[in-house]
Structure 1
Amino acid sequence: MQKRHLPPLNALRTFEAAARHLHMGKAADELGVTHGAVSKQIVNLEDQLGFPLFNRLGNRLALTGQGQKLLKAAANAFDQLGYAIARLEGEAIAGELRVSVPTAFAEKWLVPRLAKFTDAAPELKLSLLSANASYDPVGGDLLGDGLDLAVRYGEPVWKDGTARLLSHVGSFPVCSPLLVSTGPGLATPNELLQHTLLLDDPQGVNWRRWLARAGLGNAELKRTLYFQDFNLLLAAAKQGLGLCLADRITAGEDLARGRLLRPFRQSIEHLGAYFIVLPALLSPAARAFADWLEAEIDLTLADPVN
């Protein structure tokens, strides 16, 4: 439909209210007009479009298939218009924001820095929901249940949002200083095979990739422990149970404080990356949070200590 053929904005606004409430009277109350005015606007809109938007079931309303599609489009359009006006007016970041993040990312990196964002947006009601990639819905739909955005580590295969690269990271072995002082030794990557390797994937694919990078492509993984939760994996490494693969985002603080050390410099860059998964329609709060995440990640990776 050409822009010049769009229905009147008032008719679309009336339809959106009626479709949201599925009640002409409630729509009239919201818009401050009469029930008859709402009904007339809907009838005129249906006549102009050439198809029904509602099924009338006595005093009840139900959207037709075309009505459901128009409601989604109209709601998104009005939301986008509202967000644009809010930005023009310099409106403070407020309202609600629901963000889904991997548990290890939240605990090890995000939460220690979160006050920087919340102090800058004191009127925002922020909800952080922990999630791991293995628990994501089948098919890659991440932004259900009212989520405004999500952070994930892996490959950008999610269907219901735009995956915006947050950061590539290199993965490398880390371990407790206790392991170096009491174990078989870690002078060369080959000696690493005398230790227990802590896995974050059941088949040890990630470790095999790192070993191949270190010139040990045919090495056998003799002693392994698998952890589904990355927090447990890091906890096991800090307790001296073995070595795990980590990155500067999730292990940076432990490395800086000496709770973990990095015995080898070899790093592999192709295990995945951190992404922000964003809906097509971004609220000012979601946009601000995504921009803040990117800036903080850049600061972290620029810090030579981490």
Structure 2
Amino acid sequence: MQKRHLPPLNALRTFEAAARHLHMGRAADELGVTHGAVSKQIVNLEEQLGLALFRRIGNRLELTEPGFKLLKASGNAFDQLSYAIARLEGQAIAGELRVSVPSAFAEKWLIPRLAKFTDAAPELKLSLLSAHASYDPAIADVLGDGLDLAVRFGEPVWKDGTARLLSHVGSFPVCSPVLLSGSEALSTPNDLLRHTLLLDDPAGANWRRWLAGAGLPNAEITRTLYFQDFNLLLAAARQGLGFCLADELTAGEDLARGQLLRPFRQSIEHLGAYFVVLPPLVSPAARAFAEWLEAEIALFMADPAL
């Protein structure tokens, strides 16, 4: 293993503090040393690297381009080291955690189980933000607005984080009981084509895949309604506006209550899947929440009654 050629850790720590504050005196106060000690560490570091890290303009400091790059790298490294030590010491999960989740996933699956996590982390200030699904691949940044992690349904095209698979889902038709009574009753999947099909993707690709799997590869879909928000899709299905493709995570409660019925047993693996998206630097709280999500979904998929 190659030896790492790094400047002294104390010099890097001093530089990082001075670069954050852009002020030698405030860095000295933070580190508990003298202004002269900070200045000397910076000069020695610049000499060792052969680079100017600051521009000194009167009493002000400005970062050079190499200084800006080193600040970003050293800040991330110190944060990651701090997080790792906190996990080694078994510190309680505390602080703030900002999580963005699809509204249907939050309402139908996450919130009924959330107390399991919050009871285990009573010192954590958790904020859940609603995320609306989008099928525009150009909208690929999901970790803005100070988010610590995000849950998304779709394909892992997001640019600003690492997507870890939570679960694939099996999709099947569901509808209001009113669409299965009297003259509206269904006998075969072909009868679905008499009704409005509710879409969660604009082109209806998932419905075409389900119909093909049910023996109707060339089915002509003529009546559709598209909903970008899956909660609205489920609401439309409950109101009897048509049939939608749903899964156990988001439709399980409605199925259990009889508000939605499942007329056919055929199921397809949806084109999208649930992912947790994590930034390059993961806090202990975000890591704990992601690991809890993965474990809870694994339990649910093994037994949806849980």
TM-score bracket for the superposition, by shorter chain length: over 0.9
Counterpart mapping for 1:1-306 below 5 A? 3-134=3-134, 138=138, 140-182=140-182, 184-305=184-305
Indicate conservation of the 8 Å contact 2:248/2:304, yes or no.
Answer: no
Structure 2 CA distance, aligned partners of 1:137 and 1:24? 45
Question: Residue 282 of structure 1: SS of its match in structure 2?
Answer: coil
Q: Residue 71 of structure 1 aligns to a residue in which SS?
A: helix
Structure 2 CA distance for partners of 1:304 and 1:284, relative to 1, 3 Å: closer
Matches of 2:73 and 2:101 in 1, distance apart?
A: 28
Q: Give me the whole-angstrom Cα distance separating, in 2, the residues matched to 1:184 and 1:273.
A: 32
For 1:15, what is the secondary structure of its paired residue?
helix
Count of aligned residue pairs for this structure pair: 305
State the superposition RMSD in angstroms.
1.8
Q: Which moved more, 1:61-70 or 1:290-299?
A: 61-70
Q: CA deviation at 1:123?
A: 0.2
Mapped contact 1:171–1:271 kept (Cα < 8 A): no
Give the Cα–Cα distance (whole angstroms) in 1 for the partners of residues 108 and 183 of structure 2. 27
Return the offset for 1:121: 0.2
Q: Please tell me the residue identity of whatever aligns with 2:117.
A: F
Gaps of 5+ in 1: none
Instruction: Tell me the distance in 1 between the aligned counterparts of 2:108 and 2:182.
Output: 27
Query: Alpha-carbon deviation of 1:57?
Result: 2.3
TM-score (ref. length: structure 2)? 0.94
SS in 1 for 2:143: coil
Query: Aligned-pair distance for 1:105?
Result: 0.9
- Are residues 182 and 66 of structure 1, via their aligned partners in 2, closer, same or farther at CA, if it must alter by over 3 Å? farther
Contact residue 101 and residue 130 of structure 1 kept, 8 A? yes
Q: Is the 8 A contact 2:19 2:71 kept in 1?
A: yes
CA–CA distance in 1 between the matches of 2:136 and 2:10? 40
How many Å apart are 1:263 and its aligned residue?
Answer: 0.9
Normalised by the size of structure 1, how large is the TM-score?
0.94
Q: Deviations over 1:38-63 (max 9, x none)?
A: 11111111111111111222222222
Note closer, same or farther for the CA distance 1:4–1:206 as it changes in structure 2 (3 Å cut).
closer
AA aligned to 1:83 is Y
- 1:128 alignment partner, SS class: strand
8 A Cα contact 2:196 2:225, kept in partner: yes
Which residues of structure 2 form unaligned runs of 5+? none
Shift of the 304–150 alpha-carbon distance from structure 1 to 2, 3 Å rule, reads: closer
How many Å separate the matches in 1 of 2:285 and 2:203? Answer: 40
Q: What percentage of residue pairs aligned between the two structures are identical?
A: 83
Tell me, in whole angstroms, the C-alpha distance in 1 between the residues paired with 2:61 and 2:150. Answer: 35
SS in 2 for 1:125: strand
Task: Give the superposition deviation at 1:12.
Answer: 0.6
Q: Note the C-alpha offset of 1:139.
A: 5.5
- Please give the secondary structure, in 2, of the residue aligned with 1:168: strand
> Are the counterparts in 2 of residues 208 and 217 from structure 1 also a CA contact under 8 Å?
yes
How far residue 70 of structure 1 moved from its aligned partner, in angstroms, is 1.0
User: Residue deviations 1:130-185, cap 9 Å, x none?
Assistant: 11232889462222222111111111112222111100111111111121125521
Q: For residues 99 and 191 of structure 1, do their structure 2 counterparts lie closer, same or farther at Cα, with a shift above 3 Å needed? A: same
What's the CA shift string for 1:59-85, capped at 9, x where partnerless?
A: 222222211211111111111111121
Q: Specify the SS of the correspondent of 1:187.
A: coil
